[in-house]
Amino acid sequence: MEKNTNRRIKPNSIKRLLSMLIKAYPVLVPIVAVCIVIGAITATLPAIFQQKIYSIIGEWVESGDWAGASKLIIPLVSTLATFYVVSLLAGFTQSQMMAVITQGFLNKVRQQMFTKMQNLPIRYFDTNKHGDIMSHYTNDIDTLRQMVSQALPTVLRCCILLTSVMCIMLYYSLWMTLVVLLGVFAMLKISKKVGSGSAKYFIRQQKSMGKTEGFIQEMMTGQKVVKVFNHEPQSRKDFQQVNDELFEDAFRAHAYANVLGPIINNIGNTLYVTIAVVGGVLLLTHTPNIGISSLVKGSITVLSIDIVIPFLNMAKQFTGNVNQVAQQINSVAMAIAGAERIFELIDEKPETDEGYVTLVNAKIDADGNVTETTEHTGQWAWKHPHHDGTLSYTPLKGDIVMVDVDFAYVPGKPVLHDISLYAHPGQKVAFVGATGAGKTTITNLINRFYDIEDGKIRYDNININKIKKNDLRNSLGLILQDTNLFTGTVMDNIRYGKLDATDEECVKAAKLAGADDFITRLPAGYQTLLENNGENLSQGQRQLLAIARAAVADPPVMIMDEATSSIDTRTERIVQQGMDKLMEGRTVFVIAHRLSTVQNSDVIMVLDHGRIIERGSHDDLIAQKGQYYQLYTGAFELE
């Protein structure tokens, strides 16, 4: 179900973002805030000094005492210059610290997102476009950069300036301040109206951008398919549709936002003229001036020119800062929209794991007694704590049993029905059947990529729900039909199966898989750099590396999901020899369409629409002359 894209910004998202920022830098953030306060306050001082200088000049004109006036003006100018130097130092400190805070904060957010992503269940990646997930790390993060580095400091500085200027204006003249407040009230009403509209569309823009990036990523991945089927015109048409949606949302967002600046500027200009006119009228009518200063002194004087002129500058400064705050609404709205998408990822429910049985290195004596050790002995055991505080150790053998298992990816649409099977240590169990019969789903359940709805799966007579998922998966080797190779050398990709494996162990695994021959013919051998999922290798070569990766891990249970489907018949014979060595003494689950790869299996299970309809050895199933017999003789096709 598509999420509602018309919702408005959530206030708690802003609070959460600020809380994360302060928590990340509890010392630097307050220091930056102090620097901003110092800079803002010093920016308001010229109005005070200007009024005093005008007042001194007025007295000098009347008295003609220039020497006395200069003695008063020079200290004021010197003090003002000192404040400017302090403001300069505060600004420099702020800019340097903000560089650290901004990039450091984004680094921490990306790290938090990636850590959370690693803990998400496979279901999340099956139901979300990878390009859209990527846009969290790129576009959404960039909106946070703009807000943290620019919008937040600007808004804080402007708010302090507005407060300071308002206090100064109230200090000098209440009547003039009321005129300014009327203009500010109009600005705030318009800013709220326009700002709320732009925020709504900025949220939609972020989602549309994620959708567009997801489409581009999908097209890049499937570029060969696009070209081979001459699908370029339709791809352009589909892209135009998602791109037009992005244009529409972005246009509306920026149309709202861009109209705000000119409106605020014109209100400010009108206010400036209004203050000049009102001030002139008050001067001509000799209106008594009421302000905090006159109330404190206890004497009300007539409004004078040395108050009106600074007031004009303060009004211009006031409206200018209101305009700056309004202009930052764009960045804040985009950032909060991006933050909400980031929080959606961070708040995703992680993969649950209630397991408490762990896998440990073990020593097993001649009598079968198991003791735990820190040494790598090549023998493993399940460490099983019990409710009474005792521990028991069960040797890892690879005995897997499924009893009456039901499963559905989507509730109400079962994929597996009443699946029961057993695989004793050292047995090779094969699954055959048409696409969608449930073969891969069974192996996904053994890995606990998904959890069953009903029934039980036991591993060495332990319910797999009791086994920690990491330990469970450490005991399983998985070779998939779609090979994933990572940026790095060939050696690095083999070592991915066992990070502490030596070069010798990696080479041995490659020889076992039949990959050593082509690796040694690469430009740099095992140090050849692979990029873009190993695009410089053939599909068969990539699959051989995947088999070598599983071999170096040396797990007691192997799951081979179409492991040789991309290898030609000649190469398959070479690989099969290595596979036979790899499978010795291990429990092996094999999924295959090519029946030649499963003939030597101890038991073959034929699946149809999520049910096991036949089981037995190759000879038994041929003798039954059922569906397997039809598959083998070519009377029935898998697809």
User: pLDDT of 423-446, one tens digit each?
Assistant: 888 888 999 888 778 888 888 899
Are both 318 and 439 inside the same structural domain?
Answer: no
Instruction: Answer whether 279's CB lies under 8 Å from 178's CB.
Output: no
Quote the CA–CA distance of 254 and 194 in Å, as a whole number.
Answer: 11
**327: Cβ contacts below 8 Å, ≥ 6 apart:** 260, 261
Tokens of 140: 């959404």
Identify whether 3 is part of a domain.
Answer: no
| CB-count burial class (<10 Å; 0-12, 13-18, 19+) for 111 | exposed
Q: Are residues 189 and 56 in the same domain?
A: yes
Per-residue pLDDT band at 521 (split at 50, 70, 90): very high
What average pLDDT does this structure show over 605-627?
A: 89
Find the angle CA(618)-CA(620)-CA(623) to the nearest 5 degrees: 110
Task: Specify the pLDDT at position 458.
Answer: 94
CATH number at residue 87: 1.20.1560.10
163 CB neighbour count, 10 Å cutoff: 13
Whether 505 is in a domain gets the answer yes
In a domain, 353, yes or no: no
Tell me whether residue 487 is in a domain. Answer: yes
Residues 428 and 287 in one domain: no
For residue 5, is pLDDT > 60? no
545 with 475, same domain?
yes
Domain count, the chain: 3
pLDDT band at 152 (very low <50, low <70, confident <90, very high): confident
**pLDDT tier for residue 3 given thresholds of 50, 70 and 90:** very low
Structural domain harbouring 569: 400-633
> What whole-number distance in Å separates Cα of residue 346 and Cα of residue 16?
12
If pLDDT is split at 50, 70 and 90, which confidence band does 584 have? confident
CB 35 within 8 A of CB 97: yes
Q: In this structure, what are the phi and psi dihedrals at residue 164, rounded to the nearest 5 degrees?
A: -65, -45
Q: Are 420 and 405 in contact (CB under 8 A)?
A: yes
Token pair of 151 as six digits: 């919008």
Higher per-residue pLDDT: 237 or 592 = 237
Q: What span, in angstroms and rounded, lies between the C-alpha atoms of 423 and 442?
A: 13
Average confidence (pLDDT) over 1-28: 72
> Are residues 332 and 474 part of one domain?
no
622 and 496 together in one domain:
yes
Judgement on whether residues 270 and 375 belong to the same structural domain of the protein: no
Kindly indicate the confidence band of residue 224, based on its pLDDT and cuts at 50, 70 and 90. low
Is residue 261 within 8 Å of 330, Cβ to Cβ? no
Residues 369 and 457 in one domain: no
Q: Residue 466 has what pLDDT? A: 93
Does the structure show a pLDDT above 70 at 564? no
Q: Is there a single domain that holds both residue 126 and residue 41?
A: yes
Are the beta carbons of 479 and 565 closer than 8 angstroms? no
| Mean pLDDT score of the chain | 81
